[in-house]
Amino acid sequence: MEVLSDHNWVLTVGTFLPLVGVLIMLFIPKADEALSKAVAIGTAAATLAVGVFTMVQFNYDKAGEMQFVAQAEWISVIKSSYFIGLDGISLPLYFLSMVITLLVMIYSWNHVPSPGNAKAFYILMLVLQTGMAGTFIARDLVLFFVFFELVLLPMYFMIGVWGGENRQYASLKFFLYTMFGSALMLVAFLALFFKTGAESFAIPFLIENGGAIAKNTQIWIFAGMFVGFAVKVPMFPFHTWLPDAHTQAPTQGSVILAAILLKLGTYGFVRIAIPILPEAAKEWAPWIGLLAVIGIIYGALGCLAQTDMKRLIAFSSVAHMGYVMLGISTLTSFGMNAAMFGMVAHGLITGMLFFVAGSVKERYHTLEIKRLSGMLVQMPKLGWILGFCAMASLGLPGLAGFWGEFPAILSAYQPAPGLNVTVFRVYMVVAAIGTVLAAGYLLWLYQRTAFGEPTEEFAAGHGHDEDIHDVNKFEWIAWTPLLIAIVVFGVYPQLMFQVLDPAVGVTLKAFGG
Amino acid sequence: MLLNQFLMLGAVLFCIGVYGVIVRKNAVLVLMSIELILNSVNINLLAFSLRNGTPDGHTFALYVIAVAAAEVGVGLAMVLLMYRNRRSVGLDDLSEMKG
Amino acid sequence: MLASDVLVAQNVGFAIIAVIMVIGALRVVTTKNVVHAALWLVVVLAGAAAQYILLAAEFLAVTQVMVYIGAVMVLFLFGTMLTRAQIGAEKDLNNKNGIIGLPIAVLLLATMLIALNDGFKAEKLSADAPLVSTQQVSDQIFGIYLLPFWALSFVLLAAAIGAIVLARRD
Amino acid sequence: MFSASTEAAEVILKSGWFLENAFIIPIIPAVAFFLIIFFGKKMPMKGSEFGIVSMFAALVMSIGAAYQWIQRVNGVSEETYVKPIIRSWTWWQNDGVSLGIGQHIDGLSITILVVVAFISSLVQIYSTEYLHGDRRYTHFFASLTLFSAGMLNMVVAENMIQLILGWELMGLCSFMLIGHWWEEGANSRAALKAFFTTRTGDIGLLVGTSVLFFAANDWTQKTLGVSGFSIRGLSAWALSGDPSSAAITVGAVALFIACIGKSGQFPLHTWLPDAMAGPTPVSSLLHSSTMVVAGVFLVARVYPVFYEGMNIYGNSVNFIVLIGGVTIVIAAALAFVQNDIKKVLAYSTVSQLGYMMMGLGAGAWLPAVFHIFTHAFFKACLFLGAGSISHSASHHSFDMKKDMGGLRKFMPITFSTWIISTLALCGVFPFSGFFSKDEIIDNVGYAGYNFFMIVGLFGAFLTAAYMTRATYLTFFGEPRGAAAGEHHDDEHDAHASHDDHGHDAHGHDAHAHDSHAAHDSHDDHGSHGPRESGLIITVPLILLATLALGSGFLNAPAFGEKWENLKKWVEPRAEVVSVTGIAKPAGAHGETRLAAGSEEPVDDGHSEAADSGSHSKAEAGKDGGHHYSDCGSKTPVGGVCYAPQLKHAPFKWWKAGMSVGIVFLGMILSWLLCVQLYTRKNKKLVGLTERNKALGAGYSFLANKYYLDTLYEKIIVRSIAHPISRGAYWFNQNVLDGIVNGAGTSTRKTAGWVYRNVDQKLVDGAVNGAGTSAENAGGALQPVQSGKVNQYGALLFGAAAIGALVLVIINF
């Protein structure tokens, strides 16, 4: 693959700059919180700048090909090399991770959750940033795996240290669960490596030779990857870590978790599992689709049963990632595009929802839906933002959510050749019903929390007045970009589709997609 | 004399050790099970070393023994500390990481 | 003496020792009495030493005996003494839901055996293979594997200090 | 870039700036929406000026476009297919296909554009007075403007996705507007119900669009070079004989389900009456004249799809006609048992929508569209009239029985406009309703659906009856309740009370007898008796009434061919249009342009039209002298059709006379009943009861009066209207409503069960079970969390074992 740009350093810089920031921060006394915050935010901003530069330099006419490719010797013993690149699929997520990190940091300026220690908190976020960005650019399985796991640890500590009452449980569950998944994933990677002649871990190489593996073997390897990625997504039976993790995690954790971490799984499917093992993918697609639609309905039901706002949002993630996986499972570029768009849209919207939930928690010290009411009376702005996000999340056309949801449903009508059409059409209808349920639980949530009069305990003059204030400066700074993005992508989706479409087409060569 | 007989012996010991690690509650016993595992590893190492006629296996077996010694030392020290703090060596009484 | 009957002797020896080791190991993980467990462990370790000899690794065998049976076991027994008032059988050495250990262990064993059987079916260990001399071992330790050796020394040092720090009563 | 066909259009067809740039019309209010949101509060008029200005701008542009469209149409002969002005920009691309957003302007969209822009402008002006001093005044105008943006966008939509965009925007706005006074649970629940019900219908929209897209895309790409979402493409495809009957039927039915939801057709109409919880202007704009016709509009928009999919003109009764007919009667019957004037109007809206649907289902495309047009005016007028009453006369009460009566003396303007609109609604000659509704009924019969023609006439009867009742209760008889100035003291206190601390406008909802009361608050006339409303309210009424009176003449076949203007301007001509040029791979614009050029019927298009015209002379007679083409009846040769050939019932005075007669009958009956009921009730009650008991049902008119008398006294009697309406109402409340509401609750219940038992016990339990024995596998999440070394060991080795196993198996 020829190098499309001489700026092949940008990715490396963009990925590891945060670590430099971490190094600097290590020398900042713990007491000097403001400074460490400033440094961290500065680093994130610089990283984002590099990201912007990458976007500018990105050659959109060749969005289908790998750009800024850099390759270097790494662990020659196991034939793994430091091989990175960026294409239309990676770009949006790569960039999103940078944006989200920066915004989260800004938000954290005066929202460092107890027990304080901003320095450590920010360091973790920077490390997280490296891991996330790295995962999206890695073109070598070992490298991918390293970054993939690198993400795990900071998140574990974020939940385990800064989380809610039940944090240890949640963090441990999250950690072990994902660990378990990655173990199988690693096995699958190794199997892949040996089955393709133990020559290289480079993804392009594997894509070329992966198809040659015997079908049964492919199915087994795919199974390994499937579990690894599905846990991360999370898909229906593997989702139970998510609500706990989200509920317990600090706001920042939830936002990053929802916005980026969940995408690592789906990204893995799109980038690794499906292109490398087309045969197996064909075999698995109906089952993935099945789990996806189960997830859609099931997540929605879960939401309807919730009494806790944050937990409800967490469950809605399950439903929305269901749409993403449904799109992927069709193995058509139509579906893939939808899925990729859905990933970004879900990142923006659900991230935003978690921000709001965090701010609500901070003001009311509770997320019990039945204790909340009349938010619009006390905090109109926050209330309307919540409404906006709810609308976006239930897939209202003109807002980003719709473009992940509707095309996914659409694509299910006509899956890739070789897949059972009837089955997928059934999926389509079920998914469509899911949209109604989505409207149901979100509006239900909104009606109960935002409308009506404030409940007794929080009504004016019951001692909560000083806590209950409307959106503040830092929140505005952190949220506005997301809100704008939701509208912009909703009104003009082409912005993203034009980047995704070619790349997806390349990814699906094996299916003639 | 087959290579496999040693390897399989190693495997059996290893699994017994694993079983012990999982089943045992008493810290000391868990440490013992770990010793079992380590020894099974050593047997493998030596078997291969004999097979390949190279001394690496010996070397690492030695290292393993050394590490094991260190591990037991620290481990038991921890057990002692734990016992001192809570008059018990039941591992499930260690609930710092409990959620 | 003839290689063949040596081999026979070795095989017989191996078999006996192996059986003893397995039994010992099983007792270690099943016995109700910590002290007994320690003693059973001695048996296993001794067996291991014997196996080392069969594998033509005298030096290691000796080390095994000295380090393990000499030092480690004593440590264990001390640990037992220090941490538990009464010596003798007691009930809750196992945790209540450890039962899943069994399937896991069995699964693991099955896997390994399959793999091994698949890997080196009937590969023989030639009796007249060049035996490894202790000198070679030392050459390696202080030659190519010097770095690990240093690392190891640090580990031991750290362990020693750590143990003292932990166990110090203050 | 343009989809090119448009420049080609200028070759022979007149066009103009307004037509070419009609896509701006929805953009104006959209921009205004953001202006209101961000700067509204700071503006002198609290943001309403943005809304009003934008709506007027939209109105001007629409009228301009209408004018130019008429020029365009008049430029060609009666039979020529007039190309809509289509422009499209790439909105999103997927799978290499680029899907556009743009405009598709033809007679239909022009008509609706004018209506929407006009009514929205009036309603916004009206609202400045009606919601004066409301605590969320600015929000209200923001939503109202966004709503108009959505509707206009849906009208100009070039493809289904863009249409869905507008469709859902309207849903959202109606949610915000119905729930405008969300402090009360009732309102927010109604809002939720409305959004949720329509959303349920939208399943059909999503599915139908998908089905049609994949069924049509290949054909449209190949033939016209447009995607399978494009409305033009779908229309042509539907008539091309290409579609498999299964696909198109499924698609049509699915889409129609969406229309049922949106247009409040039976059985999904239950949300519409509840939607009256919103402020009256909202009811007038959204839930009478614009939004609820979205469903009808959708059917009219992609009519060929329904034409083929539902097999209209086929001998069997089709889905649309059936639903429409049922809705007419059910809703009209329900209107009898309402005391809330707005609910009467709501049900009448539902039944009028039923007429439109029935018309469309029976191939009466033009009358249906025409009915949208006229109905918009008089229904808006009626609602605003109701609003004017509650605003100025009845202390925000909408209860005809308790708080109205005899108002004609107090509010002459409101009264006269109301009367005009009522006559229009009932379809009295020469009011506008007559021309549209009567056309529908005629054509339904002409298309062979005799039964449904009778249903239509019966519906007209009922309409006349219940409207008379409403009118009587409101304007005649003696003033009652608030209208008589009763309990206006506490009202006064109430107003005083929150004039003091103005913030909590909802403060006195508690004793305000109608939920609307509090929020139309701050009306300083709280202490006067009933009187006429101010100009801001009456002027819109007058304008609307004028149109309710006059708009009918736009298409009055009664006076002969040349009066059928709307038919000339709006109805798409069914002509086989050659597309020979386009049968090339789609997309490349060069080809498309030249293709579009040859698409104009100048060259071969005309010859076809000619000969098809010639052989049409044969049936010209029985076809009312209309031009005839193959479109819709057989597969078009050498080209495509964009519209099916529709039949038109020749106008017959005796038919019209009959229907008008029925209407008058209904009015007179109802009037007499009302007089007896409400004015002389007490005299009649005594004495007649036992006489009736004695003589049974043997009485004629008097007895019936008596029956109805007792009926309204809530005594069970056998009469026609009562069991039906009660039954229908019961069915409505308990079954349908029950289903709608029950669905929600039951899902939540199941959800709860699933969550508790499946999620927490099974799935989660399975996970947790990794470390725990069976008995505590459930609720208490003992195992994995226990933080016990052993169990980490277990997990670690377990995973290792499985991993190894996988590896081994793979390597076999």
D91 vs A188: CB contact, 8 Å cut-off? no
Are C26 and C81 contained in the same domain?
A: yes
Given a cut of 90, is residue A353 above it in pLDDT? yes
> Which domain CATH number covers C75?
1.20.120.1200
pLDDT in tens, D359-389: 888 888 888 888 888 888 888 888 888 888 8
Task: Write the CB contacts of A466 (distance below 8 Å, at least 6 apart in sequence).
Answer: none
How many independent structural domains does chain A possess? 1
C122 vs B4: CB contact, 8 Å cut-off? yes
Tell me, yes or no, whether chains C and A touch by having 3 or more C-beta pairs under 8 A: no
Distance CA C158, CA A348 (A): 48
Cβ atoms of D582 and D592 within 8 Å: the answer is yes
Q: Nearest-CA neighbor of D570 among D70, D136, D99, D190?
A: D70
Choose between D588 and A81: higher pLDDT: A81
Q: How confident is the model at residue D11 (pLDDT cuts 50, 70, 90)?
A: very low
Task: List beta partners, residue D100.
Answer: D90
**What confidence score (pLDDT) does residue A494 get?**
86
**What confidence score (pLDDT) does residue A369 get?**
81
- Would the CA dihedral through D535, D540, D545, D546 be positive or negative? positive
Is A186 a member of any domain? yes
Pick from B18, B92, B95: CB nearest D797: B18
**Which of 388-407 (A) contact D at CB < 8 A?**
391, 396-398, 402-403, 406-407
Distance CA D57, CA A334 (A): 39
**What confidence score (pLDDT) does residue A245 get?**
86
Pick from A332, A402, A450: CB nearest D95: A332
How many independent structural domains does chain C possess? 2
pLDDT in tens, D546-602: 888 888 788 777 777 777 777 778 888 777 777 654 433 333 333 333 333 334 443
D203 vs A429: CB contact, 8 Å cut-off? yes
Average pLDDT, chain A: 86
B14 vs C160: CB contact, 8 Å cut-off? no
Q: CB count, 10 Å around CB of D690? A: 9
Given a cut of 60, is residue D47 above it in pLDDT? yes
Distance CA D437, CA D375 (A): 9
- Looking up tokens 């007490």 gives D682
Task: List beta partners, residue D695.
Answer: none
- Which chains have 3 or more CB–CB distances shorter than 8 Å to chain C? B, D
Q: CB count, 10 Å around CB of A211? A: 16
**Chain D interface disruption, residue of B14, B15, B21, most D CBs within 10 A:** B21
Chains B, D: CB pairs < 8 Å: 34
Residue A6 structure tokens: 């001489």
Q: How confident is the model at residue D68 (pLDDT cuts 50, 70, 90)?
A: confident
Distance CA A500, CA D633 (A): 44
**What confidence score (pLDDT) does residue A334 get?**
85
C146 to chain B: closest CA residue:
B59
D313-to-D147, D303, D320, D360, D570 alpha-carbon distances in Å: 36, 13, 12, 11, 21
Distance CA B8, CA A40 (A): 54
B25 vs C94: CB contact, 8 Å cut-off? yes
Q: How confident is the model at residue D491 (pLDDT cuts 50, 70, 90)?
A: very low
Choose between D342 and D770: higher pLDDT: D342
Task: Write the CB contacts of D678 (distance below 8 Å, at least 6 apart in sequence).
Answer: D405, D472, D473, D477
pLDDT in tens, D302-352: 888 888 887 777 767 788 888 888 888 878 877 777 778 888 888 888 888
Sorted by where each begins, the domain ranges of chain D are: 667-721, 727-811
- What is the 3-state secondary structure of A124-164? HHHHHHHHHHHHHHECEHHHHHHHHHHHHHHHHHHHHHHCC
Omega cis (within 30) before D267: yes
Region of A395 (left: φ > 0; alpha: ψ -120 to 50; beta: rest) is left
Choose between D621 and C66: higher pLDDT: C66
Q: What is the DSSP letter of B25?
A: -
Is A414 a member of any domain? yes
pLDDT in tens, C95-140: 666 677 888 888 889 888 888 887 887 777 776 667 778 888 888 8
Report, as an integer, the average pLDDT of C36-45: 88
Given a cut of 70, is residue D712 above it in pLDDT? no
B chain contacts of residue A171, beta-carbon cutoff 8 Å: 99
Given a cut of 80, is residue D357 above it in pLDDT? yes
The answer to whether C137 faces chain B, any CB pair under 8 Å, is yes
Is C124 a member of any domain? no
What is the distance of C-alpha A358 from the center of its chain? 18
Q: Which of A270-274, A414-418, D187-191, D395-399 is least confident?
A: D395-399
Is A2 a member of any domain? no
**What confidence score (pLDDT) does residue C22 get?**
93
B21 vs D788: CB contact, 8 Å cut-off? no
Given a cut of 80, is residue D466 above it in pLDDT? yes
Q: Nearest-CA neighbor of C100 among D783, D779, D808, A181?
A: D783
Residue A500 structure tokens: 């995704």
Which residue type, as a one-letter code, is found at position A60?
Y
Is A3 a member of any domain? no
B chain contacts of residue C100, beta-carbon cutoff 8 Å: 22
pLDDT in tens, D175-229: 888 888 887 777 887 887 788 778 878 888 888 888 888 888 888 888 887 888 8
Q: How confident is the model at residue D505 (pLDDT cuts 50, 70, 90)?
A: very low
Note down the domain range covering C11: 3-91
Provide the 3-class DSSP secondary structure of residue A104: helix
Distance CA A319, CA A326 (A): 11
Distance CA D449, CA A169 (A): 69
* Per-residue exposure over A26-35, b if at least 16 CB sit within 10 Å of its own CB, e if not: eebeeeebee
Give CB contacts under 8 A, 24+ apart, made by D733-742: D736/D267, D736/D268, D736/D270, D737/D270, D740/D193, D740/D196, D740/D197, D740/D270, D740/D271, D741/D193
**What confidence score (pLDDT) does residue B94 get?**
58
Distance CA D159, CA D230 (A): 4
Cβ atoms of A109 and A37 within 8 Å: the answer is yes
D789 vs B98: CB contact, 8 Å cut-off? no
Average pLDDT, chain D: 72
Q: Of C67, C91, C115, which marks where a domain is finished? A: C91
Chains A, D: CB pairs < 8 Å: 190
Write down the ipTM of this complex. Answer: 0.65
Q: Which range, A168-172, A499-503, D13-17, is most confident? A: A499-503
* Per-residue exposure over D595-627, b if at least 16 CB sit within 10 Å of its own CB, e if not: bbbbbbbeeebbebbeebbeebeeeeeeeeebb
C95 vs D788: CB contact, 8 Å cut-off? yes
Chains A, B: CB pairs < 8 Å: 12
pLDDT in tens, D73-100: 887 777 777 788 888 888 887 777 778 8
Phi, psi for residue D623 in degrees, rounded to 5: -95, 25
Pick from C14, C105, C148: CB nearest B19: C105
* Per-residue exposure over A37-69, b if at least 16 CB sit within 10 Å of its own CB, e if not: bebbbebbebbbebbeebbeebeeeebbbbbbb
**Which of 747-776 (D) contact C at CB < 8 A?**
770-773
B chain contacts of residue D789, beta-carbon cutoff 8 Å: 30, 91, 94
Report, as an integer, the average pLDDT of D800-809: 79
Distance CA B17, CA B6 (A): 16
Choose between A385 and A6: higher pLDDT: A385
pLDDT in tens, A8-33: 788 888 899 999 999 888 888 888 88
Q: How confident is the model at residue A297 (pLDDT cuts 50, 70, 90)?
A: confident
A chain contacts of residue B99, beta-carbon cutoff 8 Å: 166-173
Given a cut of 50, is residue D501 above it in pLDDT? no
Given a cut of 50, is residue D232 above it in pLDDT? yes
Report, as an integer, the average pLDDT of D418-444: 85
The answer to whether A173 faces chain B, any CB pair under 8 Å, is yes
The bridge status of strand D97-105 relative to strand A67-75 is unpaired
Q: How confident is the model at residue A242 (pLDDT cuts 50, 70, 90)?
A: confident
- Would the CA dihedral through D539, D540, D542, D543 be positive or negative? positive
pTM confidence score? 0.72
Sorted by where each begins, the domain ranges of chain B are: 3-88
D788 vs C111: CB contact, 8 Å cut-off? no
Are C20 and C82 contained in the same domain?
A: yes
Choose between D169 and D778: higher pLDDT: D169
Are C22 and C76 contained in the same domain?
A: yes
Note down the domain range covering A296: 10-511
% of chain D beyond a pLDDT of 90: 0
**What confidence score (pLDDT) does residue C19 get?**
92
Which CATH topology does B3-88 take?
Helix Hairpins (1.10.287)
Region of A117 (left: φ > 0; alpha: ψ -120 to 50; beta: rest) is left
B chain contacts of residue C75, beta-carbon cutoff 8 Å: 72-73, 76
Tell me, yes or no, whether chains A and B touch by having 3 or more C-beta pairs under 8 A: yes
Torsion from C-alpha of D192, D196, D198, D199, nearest 10 degrees: 140
C97 vs D783: CB contact, 8 Å cut-off? yes
**Chain D interface disruption, residue of A173, A451, A509, most D CBs within 10 A:** A451
Q: Which of A364-378, B30-44, D180-194, D500-514 is least confident?
A: D500-514
Given a cut of 50, is residue A274 above it in pLDDT? yes
Q: Please tell me the distance in Å from A378's CA to the nearest CA on chain D.
A: 12
Are C82 and C140 contained in the same domain?
A: no
Q: Please tell me the distance in Å from C123's CA to the nearest CA on chain D.
A: 19
Per-residue pLDDT 10s for chain B (99 aa) are 788 889 999 999 999 999 988 888 777 888 889 989 999 999 999 998 888 888 888 899 999 988 888 888 888 888 888 777 777 666 656 555 444
**What confidence score (pLDDT) does residue D623 get?**
40
Average pLDDT, chain C: 81
